[in-house]
Chains A and B, each alone.
Chain A
């Protein structure tokens, strides 16, 4: 199937999901972006320049790693991991960002703005802007600024201005709103580097296209390494860019089951989660420029979401996934905060890998299901990000006493320096 082969008059729609729901003032900007994106997509030189850039700058292709210890421990399927955590800046976010950087150059724009949740996309955008010589402004919910200080530190040191958004829930969705407000004023010289496969067309298609590099590589690598295609692929889904990235390599392989792993937070029925499709709380709506499943109330107002992973803590989902889920091409599951903490511990101890809290949702789901599968079966997990950035969150989650006393002594030292 080619999900981007739109029927006439339905460009930007995946089933009933997607579209462009933006203020009129952005009409010409979106048209300009769409035109430029079409040119890039049809130009084979653009894609080769993109691949070269990621090879030289970010270390692509990222490897696929076999996890024999974890597989043995669980006693079921053989587990493999696609290592997008080994990218420069530590996650798959750099793929999309470098692609949009090349596109921004073609657009002739000198400024970029971006929203960020966990800070990985902001960090990657700040990196790209430094490399391309763009002015860079990052909008980040004040709650996320507080829980992801290390990423804020790097963004600022890379020359970006980080703006803590104080409206609403002060998380990712509010950062997106604030980005939109910047864009409706500054669109003439500014490109909005949307970080996930959400928002108005052509963003879902464009971000998916850049992230498809993960799936293209992974398919070839797993065939070479395991001698066959995986039976199941697991990827975490916040907005859904890493998942659509890896899944695209396997959409036409009928025997490969694709599993999207959402943030179960405190669990089903808790109202404290960000599972749009795995739980029954979301409904179809229109917000932030597109139509998809949103966690919203009867009145159409968005509700509070929760996740241990800031990058999954979002109300909406990639419209392509709403469609693929409806078509039963992708199954959706959720992992709770608690399951994520346990999965992280296990993965660190058995394999020496530190997946990001976001990514660990995919591990947790795979760990749950692997023992029920046969030894001849293969699981591929997309390790979309590394967990070093989460050191504060993970230390809290694991209640690490040594870390706490270290932070206390550091605080004392700063206090002394002030006095």
Chain B
């Protein structure tokens, strides 16, 4: 429950936390570090480090390309964990692993948890691993002090939200809309109603992701969620406007 406590602690001074995202090794680990430096300065609270995978089927085109390019340049899992170790010792934000289940499955669930823990990660997000397929793994994670992040979605029935809520820990990742990462979402009444439904089924903090990209989105989420998750929007800025653009982007988020 380190993650939930951390979020609750930070929420005393801030009405909405920010979680950012980088794809390990894209465009390079050096560039990742530079981006994270900017995120730290901007006061980002949490960062998900995505371990690249060859079949990122829950991601949109920008992250798909980033996964592909990173693997093409030879990124390995060892490098990702080493990088995570470097990041967690250098910065004060908390770090989560994000990726696909095969990465974990191939190295073994126990090894994964040990390595994640040793690298200073406190949680993981595996979008293609449903709760039905991960009962033992999630228990093992919790006993290592690692939170397995559960996702709640606009298509989840109340019955399903109750099932998901019952096993949630650390934080719930609320998917703002259907589809893959990277398409613009409007934080409208529908999203707020979803957040309210999710709230009824879990006590852990709520993070909202998928298509969150600007100050207005954040404004709309204040009071309704604990964490705004910004992924593709920041990578897009990095690609088009570099480090200076990224600085301005996080600055204008407020």
A: residues with CB less than 8 A from B are 19-29, 167-168, 173, 176-177, 180-181, 184-187, 283, 285-289, 291, 296, 298-302
Contact = CB atoms under 8 A, between A and B. Distances in A.
Contacts of B68: 167-168
B156 A288 contact: no
B51 to A, nearest CB: 9
B178 A28 contact: no
Given A301-B53, A301-B54, 10 more contacts: A20-B132, A20-B133, A24-B150, A27-B160, A29-B155, A168-B55, A177-B56, A285-B102, A285-B106, A288-B55
A185 B53 CA distance: 21
A199 to B, nearest CB: 11
Interface string B26-62: 0000000000000000000000000011111110110
B54 A180 contact: no
B245 interface: no
A185 B178 CA distance: 5
B37 to A, nearest CB: 27
Given A27-B155, A184-B178, A286-B105, A21 B55 contact: no
13 contacts: A21-B128, A21-B130, A22-B128, A23-B151, A28-B157, A176-B57, A180-B57, A187-B155, A283-B106, A286-B105, A291-B105, A296-B102, A296-B106
Contact of A19 (B65, B133, B164, B178): B133
Contact of B179 (A20, A177, A184, A287): A184
A299 B57 contact: no
A300 B53 contact: yes
B57 A301 contact: no
A289 B101 CA distance: 10
B129 interface: yes
Contact of A27 (B65, B102, B129, B130): B130
A285 to B, nearest CB: 5
Contacts of B71: 301
A407 to B, nearest CB: 34
Contacts of A28: 155-157, 160
B117 interface: no
B77 A22 contact: no
Nearest to A299: B77
A285 B180 contact: no
B54 A23 contact: no
Nearest to B61: A167
B154 interface: yes
Chain A contact surface mostly: mixed
Interface core residue of A21, A167, A168, A185 (most chain B CB under 10 Å): A21
A186 B183 CA distance: 14
Nearest to A180: B57
B101 A21 contact: yes
B175 A25 contact: yes
Interface string B91-104: 00000000011110
A168 B69 CA distance: 10
Contact of A25 (B54, B150, B154): B154
Nearest to B126: A21
B12 to A, nearest CB: 30
A185 B103 contact: no
Contacts of A301: 52-54, 71
Nearest to A301: B54
Given A21-B101, A167-B64, A173 B55 contact: yes
Given A24-B156, A187-B155, A299-B106, A287 B55 contact: yes
Contacts of B65: 167
B76 interface: yes
Contacts of A291: 105
Contacts of B55: 168, 173, 177, 287-288, 302
B153 interface: yes
Contact of B128 (A23, A173, A300): A23
A185 B179 contact: yes
B153 A286 contact: no
B64 A24 contact: no
Contacts of A176: 57
Contacts of B17: none
Contacts of A23: 57-58, 127-128, 151, 153
B180 A299 contact: no
Contacts of A20: 130, 132-133
A24 B153 contact: yes
Nearest to B71: A301
